[in-house]
Structure 1
Amino acid sequence: MADSIRAWHPSVPGLREVLHASFDDHAYPMHAHDDWAVLLIDSGAVAYELDRGRHHALPDAVTILPPGVPHDGRSATKGAGFRKRVLYFESAWLPESAPSAAAVRPTLDGADVLEAVRAIHDALTEPAELLEAEHAALVLQDRVLERLHAPADAPADAPLARRLRDLLEGRVQEAFTIADAAAQLGAHPSHMTRAFTHAYGMPPHRYLISRRVDHARRLLVDGWRVADAAASAGFHDQAHLTRHFRRILGTTPARFKAGS
Structure 2
Amino acid sequence: MNRGRVVMHRCVVAGVQATTADTTQSFGRHSHDTFGIGLVWRGAQRSASGRGPVEARAGDIITANPGEVHDGSPFDERGRAWRMLYFEPELIYDVVNEFGAHAPVAVEFKQPVLHDQAFTAHFEHAFAAAMGASIAPVEALATETSLFVLMAYVVRAHTTARLRVPAHELNGGVGASIRRARARIDDDPCNPVTLAALAAEAGLSRFQFLRGFARDTGLPPHAYLIQRRLSLARHLIAQGTALADAAAGAGFADQSHMTRAFVRAFGVTPAQYAGAVR
TM-score by length of 2: 0.82
CA offset digits 1:209-238 (Å, max 9, x no partner): 111111111111111222221121111222
* 1:15-45 deviation per Cα after TM superposition (whole angstroms, max 9, x unaligned): 421112221x212222221111111222222
Shift of 1:89: 1.1
> What is the RMSD computed on CA atoms of the aligned residues?
2.2
Tell me which residue corresponds to 1:81: 79
Q: 1:203 corresponds to which residue?
A: 220
CA contact (8 A) 1:120 1:132 kept: no
Residue 132 (structure 2) aligns with: 125
Counterpart residue type for residue 123 of structure 2? V
Residues in 1 aligned to 2:254 and 2:57: alpha-carbon distance in whole angstroms:
38
Tell me if structure 1 keeps the 8 A contact 2:51–2:112. Answer: no
Q: Percent identity over the alignment? A: 30
CA contact (8 A) 2:36 2:63 kept: yes
For residues 32-87 of structure 1, the C-alpha deviation after alignment (integer angstroms, 9 at most, x for no partner) is 21111111222222222222412233332322222222222221x21122222211
1:191 to 1:26, Cα distance in 2 relative to 1, 3 A = same
Q: What is the alpha-carbon distance in structure 2 between the residues aligned to residue 155 and residue 49 of structure 1?
A: 41
Name which of 181, 193, 196 aligns with 1:176: 193
Report the CA distance between 1:173 and its aligned residue.
0.5
Instruction: Give the Cα separation in 1 of the matches to 2:252 and 2:156.
Output: 34
Counterparts of 2:256 and 2:182 in 1: how far apart (Å)? 26
Look up the match of 2:100: none
The runs of 5 or more residues in structure 2 that have no matched partner are: 97-104
Do the aligned partners of 1:226 and 1:238 also contact (CA within 8 Å) in 2? yes
Shift of 1:184: 4.7
Q: Distance in 1 between matches of 2:270 and 2:115?
A: 40
Q: How many residues in Structure 1 have an aligned counterpart in Structure 2? A: 254
Letter in 1 for 2:5: S
SS of the equivalent of 1:10 reads coil
With the length of structure 1 as denominator, give the TM-score of the two structures: 0.87
Partner of 2:89: 91
Partner residue of 1:4? 5
Residue matched to 2:16: 16
* Stretch moving more, 232-241 or 104-113: 104-113
Q: CA deviation at 1:131?
A: 1.5
How far, CA to CA, are the matches of 1:227 and 1:121 in structure 2? 31
